[in-house]
Amino acid sequence: MNHDNPTRHAQNAWQQASQLTPPPKPPRLEFYMPAMPSLTLIHRLEMRWWRYRRRQLFRRHVVPLLAYDDHVLQDIGHCRENIHWANQLPLSVDAIQALEEQSAHWR
């Protein structure tokens, strides 16, 4: 990679990958119209879309960090094996959050 400071580039990539916040939970309504779709169903669809987008951000910003050497990855607090492990997780698991938890145990 042709970056002047690979550590700074890796940190920026990690920040961009983890910037997407989850959708808010639906409010509890006192009045429910029969023709209205279930708010729980809508929230589940939103969460699925959010997980898909988080995985896309993970693959776009974090997986390319594997091109750097182990010292740069260690500077941002991750190791190569953990990134490979998080990339293999199913879509139902947030890879970015799982990698953060794994890195917290690794430190």
pLDDT in 10s for each residue of the chain, 107 residues:
455 677 777 777 777 777 778 888 888 877 767 777 888 889 999 999 988 888 888 888 888 888 888 888 888 888 889 889 999 999 888 888 888 888 777 66
Alpha-carbon gap, residue 46 to 42, rounded angstroms:
6
Residue 89 three-state SS: coil
| Ordered DSSP codes for 14-72 | HHHHT-PPPPPPPPPPSS--TTSPPHHHHHHHHHHHHHHHHHHHIIIIIGGGGGS-HHH
pLDDT tens digits, residue range 79-93? 889 889 999 999 888
> Whole-model pTM above 0.85?
no
